Amino acid sequence: MTILAIAELSYLVVINAALQLPITQDLVNKIRPEKFYVSWERAWSWYPFRVHAEGVFANGQARTQQWQVTATSASGSISIVPLVLKQVYLSNITAENIDYRQRPRLKPNVDYSGRLAYFPDIKDREIIPVESGELKKKRPWKIHVSDATVAGEHRFWILNIQGTATGSAFGNLYTETRRGAFWLDIEQFDLELGPALLNGAAEAFHGGRAVGSLGFSPLVRAENPGRRMLRFAYLDADLDLNLESLDFINLLAGGLGNFNVSGAGHAAGHLVISDGHVRAGTDLLVTADDLGVSIYDTGIAGIGEVRVHTPEATDIPLGLDIHYDQLRATRVGDEKPFLTGETLQLAYRGSNFIIPDPSLGLSDLWDDAEAKRRRKGNTFALRVAQATVPDMAALNHYVPPDTTVQFSGGKTELNADIQFTESSLEGSIRLDSAATQLQIDDSTLRADLDMDIRLGSGNPRLLSADFSGSTLRLFNVYVDGQKDQFDGEYWSSLMEVVSGRGTFMRPTTLSADALITISDTRPLVVLFKNRSRSPKWLANMMAVKDLSGEATINLGDGKLRVPKAFVTSEKAEVGIKATFYQGEREGMVYARFKKLDTLVKRFDGQRDVDVIRAREKFDAFELED
């Protein structure tokens, strides 16, 4: 016992004397000054191989990064014998008030001009290029850190982002030099987070609280550089955060293309992520006064919330629900919204895989067999209720701009319920409009319009679908033209699509065969009069009622084509074969009342009225392809 006591006393005298001498720090820092530097203000040891220090400072650099850390105090134990084998064992670490900084060494093909001025300063180290030479074949150092605790008030400054946190964390770490193996397990953290600044001024994060665990599953850094490491990250935490950016939701929606969430808001709830997947027990609610969602070429903004969730006991399906209480929807490039309203819901159910391989492009992710398998059961639903299209002219987005049929005004109420899967699109859209205005050639038509669009057998990638069974109803029609007008409070017309298919993104295309019923011919006669020199007997058609017939309509290549539309009654017939394009129209309009008929023709910008064998000529005429 006496020998042990003398040995321990000798150790304490020698080690504490060494810790107080400046030369000790000088000798340590001569080992690899280009790799690391350490210093302390005061240090002592009361137990063998356990040291306590105050005013701790260290910095260093690896092949791609530079770093610096300070602590007001730190304690830890080290195992001496394994050092011979390039193994470092540190245990029972405690540190207070950590200030951590990290910045990259400069890569030759990366533009840092917008960020370089906002990278942290690191004492006595300049920002230099990355090391690009091959690693020498040496055995790496292996560093084991166990039972490490940090507490107090902390600061971080990583790249161009800096912030603060107050609280504690406990965990373990293993890392190898020379870009070898790495894992991190922070078993418990409880942090009050302060604002985080981007580029020294703009708040990227307002603050909040986070309690839980996080880390990285074992990986080899040389094989998983940069963003690839994210696939090994895990987080299991209760969050209550005020966020300047909601971009993280796009990460959680990694399986959705042509979809982006933006805005600022408050996030609260539980989030569980590991190995690139959202896990069981996740339920996170984000509320925002200016929630932005972009889908294809449409941007939606307003007061809303986003809920990310999974079942309590299973990882799938992942749910992503977006609900708007007030909204406005605007197409890219437009100044005014084409849709406003109170209720819009987006609901995703499907794969919980969120972090794709960053080496894969968007087309690869779509065609990749594994990605297809994950998306196989995915569903995406869009529901709109109590929304308004304030100006029906917005629908001209889907009509070739040079046709002579254009919406010119009016508003409509819109309701929609559409479901998407990996390979299908189906649902319904209903428009209920008042005083819709249509410009048809030289006449203005104003009417109430109801549309009930049924969608099925659709392709979500092309936004195309079958719309057979859809209906369009016109009533309360008013026609105004240079020669005549019509105001028919009780007039109505119904078109029922027997078969139809279309693509509902630019360039819009559709083809349809439909049944048509018309209460009477009055507005058709007025349109006829306004388009041409009309015979006097045409006025007699004003009294013809209950017409019905068929129509074929094609839209594509910038042209609206009507190969044939024909309605009949006991006394009258009206037919059209025409093409509308580039502000021009060509074709024929046929009208018959009892035994009298006429044919209005327009070709090469010239109109002509023909009363000789009018029906025969109309039947023989076919539109050019």
pLDDT digits (tens, 9 = 90+) for 114-141: 899 999 999 999 999 998 877 778 889 8
Measured between alpha carbons, how far is 294 from 422 in angstroms, rounded to an integer?
19
Query: Which DSSP symbol is given to 112?
Result: -
Comparing 32-46, 375-389, 472-486, which segment has the lowest mean pLDDT?
A: 472-486
The better pLDDT of the pair 608, 577 is held by 577
Closest CA to 221 of 185, 182, 186: 182
pLDDT at 363: 45
Whole-number Å distance between alpha carbons of 26 and 45: 19
User: What's the rounded Cα separation, in Å, for the pair 236 and 605?
Assistant: 71
Q: What is the pLDDT of residue 170?
A: 98
Q: What is the pLDDT confidence band of residue 595, given thresholds at 50, 70 and 90?
A: confident
pLDDT at position 584 over 90: no
pLDDT tens, residue by residue, 223-269: 888 778 888 999 999 999 999 888 888 877 765 666 789 999 999 99
Q: Contact 492/519 with Cβ under 8 angstroms?
A: yes
> Burial level of 164, CB count in 10 A (0-12/13-18/19+)?
middle
3-45 residue pLDDT tens:
766 666 776 777 778 788 888 888 888 988 899 999 999 999 8
DSSP 199: T
Instruction: Please tell me the predicted confidence (pLDDT) of residue 67.
Output: 96
Counting beta carbons within 10 angstroms of the beta carbon of residue 341, is it exposed (0 to 12), middle (13 to 18) or buried (19 or more)? buried
Given a cut of 90, whether residue 545 has pLDDT beyond it is no
Contact 477, 523 (CB under 8 A): yes
Share of the chain above pLDDT 90, in %: 45
Measured in whole angstroms, the distance separating CA 109 from the mean position of its chain's CA atoms is 28
Task: List the beta bridge partners of residue 494.
Answer: 473, 517
CB 381 within 8 A of CB 420: yes
Total H helices, total E strands in the chain? 7, 32
Instruction: Reduce the DSSP state of residue 529 to 3 states and report it.
Output: helix
Q: Which of 50-64, 105-119, 334-348, 514-528 has the lowest mean pLDDT?
A: 514-528
Q: For the ranges 77-86, 222-231, 331-340, 473-482, which has the lowest average pLDDT?
A: 473-482
What pLDDT, on the 0 to 100 scale, is given for residue 441? 65
R_g of the chain, CA atoms, integer Å: 37
Q: Looking at residue 360, what is its pLDDT?
A: 46
The string of pLDDT tens digits covering residues 274-303 is 988 899 999 999 999 999 998 878 899 999
Q: Take residue 18 and report the two structure tokens written for it.
A: 């060494």
Residues with Cβ within 8 Å of residue 184, at least 6 apart in sequence: 171, 172, 173, 174, 215, 216
